[in-house]
Structure 1
Amino acid sequence: MEQILSRQAASEAVQDHGWRYLLGSLQTSVPVGTSAQAISLAADAVAVCGDDADRHLRIDVRPDRVVFTLQSLDHATVTTRDVELARRISATAGKSGFLPEPGMGTGAPRSVQLVEIAIDALNIAGIRPFWEAVLGYTDEAGAGGADDPLVDPLWQGPAIWFQQMDRARPQRNRIHLDISVPHDEAPRRVETALAAGGRLVSAARAPAFWVLADREGNEACVTTWQGRDT
Structure 2
Amino acid sequence: SSTYEMVARLLKVKESVCEVANEMGWDCLLSSEWQKLKSMQELLQPFAEHTQTLQSDTMSMSLILPALFDLLSHLADVEQNTSRDVAALARKMEGNVNQRFAWVLDPSDDKFSPLVAAACFLNPTVCQTLLNVADDNIQELLKQAEGYVVRCSQTQENHSDLEELNGPEPAPPAAASSSSSASSSSRQPVFRFLSKFGTKPKPKSSKCSVRQQISQYKEELSQSITCETGMEFWLGKCDTA
Query: TM-score higher than 0.5 here?
Result: no
Query: Normalising by the residue count of structure 2, what TM-score does the alignment of the two structures yield?
Result: 0.24
Larger radius of gyration: 2
Larger % of strand: which?
A: 1
Larger % of helix: which?
A: 2
